[in-house]
Amino acid sequence: MIFFSKNCLDLGAPNVEMKKFLDGESYVRIPALPQIATEQEVTLFHRAYPEQDSSLIQLFLMLKTLKRQTDNISAVIPYLPYARQDKMVLEGEAKSSEYVCNLLAECGLCELISFDVHFLKQKGTYRYGNLRIKNISLDEGLVKYFSKKCINPLIISPDKGASYMVSDKGGIAMEKKRKAYAQSELAIRRVSMMKTDADMKGRDVIIIDDMIAGGGTMIKAVELCRKKGAKRIFCGATHGLFLKDCAKKIIGAGAQEVISSNSIPSEYSKINLMDSIRGLL
Active site residues: 176
Q: Quick one: which of 108, 171, 216, 236 contacts ligand R5P (CB under 6 A)? A: 216
Beta carbon nearer to ligand R5P, 104 or 212: 212
How far lies 131's CA from each of 48, 134, 158, in Å? Answer: 17, 10, 29
**Judged by CB under 6 A, how many residues of this single chain contact ligand R5P?**
14
Of the candidates 11, 140, 165, the one whose C-alpha atom is nearest the C-alpha of residue 75 is 11
Of the candidates 115, 122, 82, 78, the one whose C-alpha atom is nearest the C-alpha of residue 99 is 82
121 binds ligand R5P (CB under 6 A): no
Q: Quick one: which of 48, 77, 156, 213 contacts ligand R5P (CB under 6 A)? A: 213
Q: What DSSP designation does 189 have?
A: -
Beta carbon nearer to ligand R5P, 14 or 161: 161
Task: Answer for the pair 8, 59: CB distance below 8 angstroms, yes or no.
Answer: no
What CA–CA distance (Å, rounded) separates 162 from 120?
10
- For residue 178, the SS3 value is strand
Beta carbon nearer to ligand R5P, 83 or 277: 83
Task: Answer for the pair 270, 259: CB distance below 8 angstroms, yes or no.
Answer: yes
Cis peptide before 50 (omega within 30 of 0): yes
Q: What is the nearest approach in angstroms of ligand R5P to the Cβ of residue 11?
A: 24
194 binds ligand R5P (CB under 6 A): no
Task: Answer for the pair 27, 18: CB distance below 8 angstroms, yes or no.
Answer: yes
Q: What is the nearest approach in angstroms of ligand R5P to the Cβ of residue 176?
A: 7
204 binds ligand R5P (CB under 6 A): no
Identify residues 134-193 at the interface with ligand R5P (CB under 6 A).
Answer: 158-159, 161-162
Of the candidates 169, 189, 170, the one whose C-alpha atom is nearest the C-alpha of residue 180 is 189
Task: Answer for the pair 112, 104: CB distance below 8 angstroms, yes or no.
Answer: yes
Beta carbon nearer to ligand R5P, 43 or 163: 163
66 binds ligand R5P (CB under 6 A): no
Q: Quick one: which of 108, 141, 171, 215 contacts ligand R5P (CB under 6 A)? A: 215
Q: Quick one: which of 12, 214, 254, 265 contacts ligand R5P (CB under 6 A)? A: 214
Site residues (CB under 6 A) for ligand R5P? 158-159, 161-162, 209-218
